[in-house]
Chains A and B, each alone.
Chain A
Amino acid sequence: MSVIGERVPRSDGRAKASGDAEYGVDHAEPGMIWGALVRSPVSSGRITRLDTAPALAMPGVHAVVTAADAPDTRAGWVLRDQRLFAADRVLYEGQPVAAVAADTLELAREAAAAVVLEIEPLPAVVDLDAALRPDAPLVHPDWESYVPALGPDADYPRHGNLAAESVSDPPGVDDAFARAHRVVTDEFVVQRQYQAYIEPKSAVGTYRDGRYTVHTAHQFPYNVRDRVSQFLDVRPSAVRIVGHTIGGGFGAKLDAALEPYAALLSKAARGRAVKLVNTRTEDLLTCPSREGAITRVRSALDEDGTIIARELEVIADNGAYSGEMPWLASIALHCARGVYQAGPTRVTARLVYTNTAPTGAFRGVNGTYLYHAVERHMDHIAAELGVDRREYRLRHLFDDGEELLNGQVLTDAGILREGFDAIEAAAPWAKLEAERRPYRGVGIAAAWWLTNPMPGTAVVKLHEDGTAAVITAATDNGSGAVSMGVTQIVAERLGIPPSDVFVTLPDTDVAGFDAGSQGSRTTRIVGKASQIAADEVITKLKDVAAGLLEAAADDLEVADGTVRVKGAPGTSVPIAVVAATATNTVGPIQGTGSFVTPFPDFNPGCATGLMLPSFPTPTYHVHLAEVEVDPVTGTVQVLRYLVAQEVGAVISPDGTYGQVMGGVTQGIGYALHESLRIGEDGRYRERTLESYRLPLAGDVPRVEFFPLEHPDPDGPHGAKGVGEGPILLPAAVIANAVGDAIGRPLNNIPITPEEVLAALQTAELRNVEEHMR
């Protein structure tokens, strides 16, 4: 019986529900001591005094380290622009200035507080537009000397506070605007979003025998290895990263955080294991949150209202250091038209250094606000033209064979129309319009997205009892990509129950490179690599079984826990027997597989700074939301939420729905509840979960989900990425629905009760005035 598409319980479920699972923060080692960081209380300033003596003098304190104790080097995922500790200047609030190790956590925190740190404040660069003005103070006066992680040849357009830039300027844009019948212009401003996984970051580091080992719950262990090696100036193989069960990540645990500090502290504490744990406030203040951004869009329309050209400019907040961000800047090019034809389109994406915590990857990187902008803009255009919003979208919708701005051709974009149809069947637009009630509104929007193509590898090892182990550095961030997806795929191939497949936790000393849990890649890439590895196992099983069954290997098949003669299932031998025989004759059975998706063809000349050139394994998404606005308070409740999504093939129905429901919930939080404002001083205003406001069970409806399945011939069982898509559109559809409900556009994210109420009251006042006239 096939286990693909079946409801198979996740392999780590029992351990998680019983309290047995060891999360990163649960890890302890013999003789372990505790660390704490001294962090900058201001966002910009010059360190005038740093005295660690009072901390060192405290009994029970093992070590205090500062920039003076760390290698004089800079590190970074894309650009080496970051020091381990602030040396002379601090560039954001929360930036580490020193670290201490002591017998207990309380003592470590007391010692950190005893370090004398004096900072002379400097003006903070906060405003994105202002940061780009010629007279703006530079966040990195030495920017020119920084080198990309891949070497000087990998450099890209950047200058001063401009951390990265990607520009596409095809011919015909200005002409089209010159002859346009009408031009519609918009500006959208979005806040940051904190990933707010429930397990704050932690790390346990040891330095022994000349090597660093760090235990951490991480989405991308190999990336941590590389970052620790850069910061501590040792070769990568001198660092070992051991993964643990992760209490959520959503992109924020893709780059190193506490790991290099734990490693360095252990060295300073003569090899004692040192554990660092963020408080929730430290975690919030320093997390690489989703970037805030300003998006400006202009569309040129002809007499029929057809879009004949567009201009889109996005300015995104890089924070004080680059991390992964420059790599993502070119996503604007792929989303600038959304999924609608818009003629020649000029796209400018700018990433700007500011004196704020570095931003980073969050599920649906860049896409959330780009789609918000594009889809709000579509509603705006339709309103200006006085045409139906859905109809207007369908008129411009991509179809099979659509050629994109980068030259990539979408052969299967017709799936979008199926998505609109699936939503229409469940929630007919005309009916929604006909049943309109005061303070209720609907919104609809669509998107396309990639499945991250980066490489992965797996070893499948057969045990002598007939069970299999999958050795991989892939991580299950909770999505089930490993505990369900990879597990099911291997079980299916080997014909054994999923409960007989064990996937290791990542360990960079043991498993080969894996590009981490990002971009919805794990089920597809690691699933495929495991499938290839399992095929090697099958070949070896057949070879050995051929001797046992006195049959030709080609006549054998592996199924139902046995190797058997095709067409004569009675002639079989259990896998366990074959595995045990192999171990004692030809040697233990294992197989290896690796996989990477090639980037689709694109036109390299289409843009400058094109770091992420095209979107592999595209998926398609249509969302609809119905909301109700409370006219007294301005709060918004989402009443109904529908998702039609191309998934390739459903490997695990529970896993797939969980990704959709969870992603939409995070999107609803982004649109309505979560708040992460930056004050003029560069400091966050929200500093706890209380004021940050994560959505609760009472804040979200049950999502109605319509999977679209067009199997990808290269994916395992046809699978494409699932996890990211669901978060792309909630901000867009909810903003459109709120606009519909109150009859006025709101262009900022989050949509606050303040803004809604102010808009409503202004509208009422206008009505009253009109009435009186």
Chain B
Amino acid sequence: MELSTADSVDAALDELSRRGERCRVLAGGTDVMIQLARREITPEHLLHVERLGELRAVETEGSTRLGALVTHRDLAVGRLGPGYAAVAESAATVGGLQTQVVGTIGGNVCNASPAADTLPALLVHDAEVTLRSVRGSRTVPLAEFVVGRRVTTRAPDELLTTITLGRPIPRTGDVYLKVGRRSAMEVAIVGLAARLTFDGTGVVTDARIAVASVGPRPLRSVGAETALVGGTGDAESVHAAAKALLQDVDPIDDVRGTADYRRRVIPGLLGRAVRVCAERAEG
């Protein structure tokens, strides 16, 4: 095995196009280093991209664009500014401080774990990902990029460069809630992100609900969203949304929690998320 450090995006793309599948991108390495140690991956080449300062930028003028190398810590301390509480909260739950200062949003997306915390938060903000290769550049909705448990549509020669989020909308509240046994350092048993927009009378006009750790990949529940729109976050609409959400998920028993528990927790969690969104939309 070899390792090289890219000093420009173009150089990285060249390297990727030359080596393709035999090459593994190394960003913060919080996933890759463990996978290497456990011999879950055996690449011939490691391409260290974490020095590419241009991928660390955050732009909030116009649409919100963040570079793939933005760290969880950057997000947790609010670099995206107001309107992205869910993103900040999700990033703040990724491991401990040591994981957050190193781990990147691009790595979390490309690793595509079913329990990836930032993915539900990005999904409720209508995230799109931009991938570049020597062949060109493409931008796809996040929901179409992460297609299965640890599976993305990234081609071997592509580098994730940018994530674009929808703009903040007035009278909107968002939140990320994570279920674990301890106060921190938990791989989500369930992660739930919500973003709700209200009209002046407290009626929900737009809704996004996304969950992690209840299926092979984090996903949005359009059914739950539809059930919430038109209501006021009242018990009835939350109940209907929870019912729809439970239909969209497919949790399993694993070492961290049972499928039964995951199902039991979802309705209450959704109710709590709706309440927080309503409070935040007012504030």
Contact = CB atoms under 8 A, between A and B. Distances in A.
Contact flag (A, B; Cβ within 8 A):
yes
Nearest to A113: B39
B268 interface: yes
A633 B269 contact: yes
Interface in B262-278: 264-265, 268-269, 271-272
A681 interface: no
A542 B142 CA distance: 84
Contacts of A753: 179, 181, 189, 257, 261
Nearest to A674: B181
B182 A632 contact: no
A27 interface: no
A690 B179 contact: no
Interface in B243-264: 255-258, 260-261, 264
Given A633-B269, A757-B264, A752 B181 contact: yes
A205 to B, nearest CB: 26
A711 interface: no
B268 A631 contact: yes
Interface in A738-773: 752-754, 757-758, 761
A456 B187 CA distance: 46
Contacts, number: 56
Interface string B178-197: 01111111110100000000
Given A691-B255, A691-B256, A757 B265 contact: yes
Contacts of A632: 265, 268-269, 271-272
A696 B182 contact: yes
Interface string A685-727: 1100011010110110000000000000000000000000000
A277 interface: no
B264 A693 contact: no
A699 B255 contact: no
Contacts of B256: 691
A632 B178 CA distance: 11
A698 B179 contact: no
Contacts of A690: 185, 187
Interface string A415-431: 00000000000000000
Contact of B268 (A633, A672, A695, A754): A633
Given A632-B265, A757-B265, A686 B255 contact: yes
A699 B265 contact: no
A113 to B, nearest CB: 10
A631 to B, nearest CB: 7
Nearest to B178: A633
Contacts of A699: 182-183
Contacts of B261: 634, 753-754, 757-758
A372 B108 CA distance: 42
B182 A695 contact: yes
Nearest to B256: A691
Q: Which of B181, B184, B258, B260 has the most CB of A within 10 A?
A: B181
A82 interface: no
A634 B263 CA distance: 13
Contacts of B264: 757-758, 761
A635 interface: yes
A272 interface: no
A171 to B, nearest CB: 47
A643 B215 CA distance: 44
Contacts of A631: 268
A685 B258 CA distance: 13
B76 to A, nearest CB: 15
A682 to B, nearest CB: 16
Contacts of A633: 179, 265, 268-269
Interface string A648-689: 000000000000000000000000110100000000011000
B189 to A, nearest CB: 8
Contact of B260 (A672, A675, A698, A754): A754
Contact of A673 (B181, B265, B268, B269): B181
Contacts of B185: 690, 696
Nearest to B180: A635
Nearest to A688: B255
Contact of A672 (B181, B189, B255): B181
A686 B181 CA distance: 14
B223 to A, nearest CB: 21
Contact of A635 (B181, B187, B271): B181
A595 to B, nearest CB: 42
A272 B261 CA distance: 54
Contacts of A675: 181
Contacts of B187: 690
B255 A698 contact: no
A685 B268 CA distance: 28
Interface centre among A673, A685, A699, A754 (most CB of B within 10 A): A754
Contacts of B184: 696, 698
B265 A693 contact: no
A336 B6 CA distance: 67
Nearest to A690: B187
A386 B273 CA distance: 39
A685 B182 contact: no
Contacts of A696: 182-185
Interface string B143-187: 000000000000000000000000000000000000111111111
Given A633-B268, A633-B269, A693 B255 contact: no
Nearest to A281: B38
Nearest to A635: B181
Interface string A584-612: 00000000000000000000000000000
Nearest to A687: B255
Contacts of A752: 181
Nearest to A637: B183
A468 to B, nearest CB: 43
Interface in B179-234: 179-187, 189
A753 B182 CA distance: 10
Contacts of A635: 179-181
A671 to B, nearest CB: 12
A631 B182 CA distance: 15
A692 to B, nearest CB: 10
Contacts of B180: 635
A503 B222 CA distance: 68
Contact of B257 (A673, A686, A754, A761): A754
Nearest to A695: B182
Contacts of B183: 637, 696, 698-699
A695 to B, nearest CB: 7
B197 to A, nearest CB: 24
A194 to B, nearest CB: 15
A696 B97 CA distance: 13
Nearest to A757: B264
A637 B184 CA distance: 13
B276 to A, nearest CB: 12
Nearest to A755: B261
Interface in A26-46: none
Contact of B182 (A634, A673, A686, A754): A673
The residue among B182, B186, B258, B269 with the most chain A CB atoms within 10 A of its own CB is: B182
A54 to B, nearest CB: 18
Interface in B69-116: none
Contacts of A685: 255
Nearest to A686: B255
Interface of B: 179-187, 189, 255-258, 260-261, 264-265, 268-269, 271-272
- 10 nearest CB pairs, A to B: A698-B183, A632-B268, A754-B261, A691-B255, A633-B179, A699-B183, A757-B264, A673-B182, A699-B182, A632-B272
Interface of A: 631-635, 637, 672-673, 675, 685-686, 690-691, 693, 695-696, 698-699, 752-754, 757-758, 761
10 contacts: A633-B179, A634-B261, A637-B183, A673-B181, A686-B255, A693-B182, A698-B182, A753-B257, A757-B261, A757-B265
Given A632-B269, A696-B185, A753-B261, 8 more contacts: A631-B268, A633-B265, A635-B179, A675-B181, A690-B187, A758-B260, A758-B261, A761-B264
